[in-house]
Amino acid sequence: MRHLYIHIPFCHRRCSYCDFNTYANMEHHIAAYVDALCTELAMLRESLPPLPKSPAAAALRPSIFFGGGTPSMLTPAQIERILIAAAALVPLETAEISLEANPGTVLGRDYLRDIRSLGVNRLSMGVQSLHDPTLRILGRIHTAAEARASYLDARAVGFESINLDFIFGLPGQDLADWQATLTEVIAWDVDHLALYSLILEENTPLYAQVTAGRVQIPDDDLTAAMYELAMDLLDKAGYRHYEISNWVRPQPDDRPDAPPRLACHHNLAYWFNSDYLAAGAGAHGHLFPQRYANIRSIDGYIAAVQAGHRPIAETIPLTPADLAAETMMMGLRLDIGVSFEHFAARVGDDLIEHYGTTLHELMQHGLIAMDDRRVWLTERGRMVGNHVFAHFL
Alpha-carbon distances, residue 18 vs 52, 73, 147, 166, 198 (angstroms): 34, 17, 19, 14, 10
Cα separation, 155 vs 220, in Å, equals: 35
Pick one of 62, 68, 260, 285: the residue that binds ligand SF4 (CB under 6 A).
68
**Is 69 an interacting residue with respect to ligand SF4 (CB under 6 A)?**
yes
Q: Is residue 142 exposed (0-12), middle (13-18) or buried (19+ Cβ within 10 Å)?
A: buried
Angle of the 340-347 helix axis to the 351-364 helix axis, nearest 10: 130
Sheet strand arrangement including 122-128? 240-243, 246-248, 192-197, 161-168, 122-128, 96-101, 63-68, 3-8, 277-279
Closer to ligand SF4 by Cβ: residue 73 or 86: 73
Closer to ligand SF4 by Cβ: residue 22 or 98: 22
Closer to ligand SF4 by Cβ: residue 111 or 340: 111
What residue spans of the chain are helical by DSSP H?
A: 30-43, 55-58, 76-86, 109-117, 132-138, 144-157, 175-188, 205-211, 220-236, 265-271, 298-306, 320-331, 340-347, 351-364, 379-383, 385-390
Alpha-carbon distances, residue 313 vs 68, 116, 227, 271, 316 (angstroms): 19, 33, 37, 25, 10
Q: Taking the complex as a whole, how short is the minimal distance between the CB of residue 233 and ligand SF4, in angstroms?
A: 25
Choose the binding region for ligand SF4 from 10-18, 208-216, 241-249, 304-312 (rule: CB under 6 A): 10-18
Binding mask 106-135 for ligand SF4 (x = CB under 6 A): --------------------x---------
Cα separation, 243 vs 163, in Å, equals: 14
Q: Taking the complex as a whole, how short is the minimal distance between the CB of residue 124 and ligand SF4, in angstroms?
A: 11
CA nearest neighbour of 358 among 314, 321, 383? 321
Strand pairing category for 3-8 and 277-279: parallel
Cα separation, 301 vs 312, in Å, equals: 9
Closer to ligand SF4 by Cβ: residue 70 or 339: 70
Pick one of 54, 63, 70, 78: the residue that binds ligand SF4 (CB under 6 A).
70
Choose the binding region for ligand SF4 from 34-42, 63-71, 76-84, 357-365 (rule: CB under 6 A): 63-71
Amino acid identity of 318? L
**Is 207 an interacting residue with respect to ligand SF4 (CB under 6 A)?**
no
Contacts with ligand SF4 by CB under 6 A: the residue count is 11
Pick one of 4, 6, 11, 56: the residue that binds ligand SF4 (CB under 6 A).
11
Q: Taking the complex as a whole, how short is the minimal distance between the CB of residue 219 and ligand SF4, in angstroms?
A: 23
Closer to ligand SF4 by Cβ: residue 102 or 339: 102
Choose the binding region for ligand SF4 from 43-51, 62-70, 72-80, 345-353 (rule: CB under 6 A): 62-70
Q: Taking the complex as a whole, how short is the minimal distance between the CB of residue 368 and ligand SF4, in angstroms?
A: 33
**Is 102 an interacting residue with respect to ligand SF4 (CB under 6 A)?**
yes
Choose the binding region for ligand SF4 from 9-17, 108-116, 278-286, 352-360 (rule: CB under 6 A): 9-17
**Is 20 an interacting residue with respect to ligand SF4 (CB under 6 A)?**
yes
Residues that bind ligand SF4 in the complex, under the rule CB under 6 A:
11, 14-15, 18, 20, 22, 68-70, 102, 126
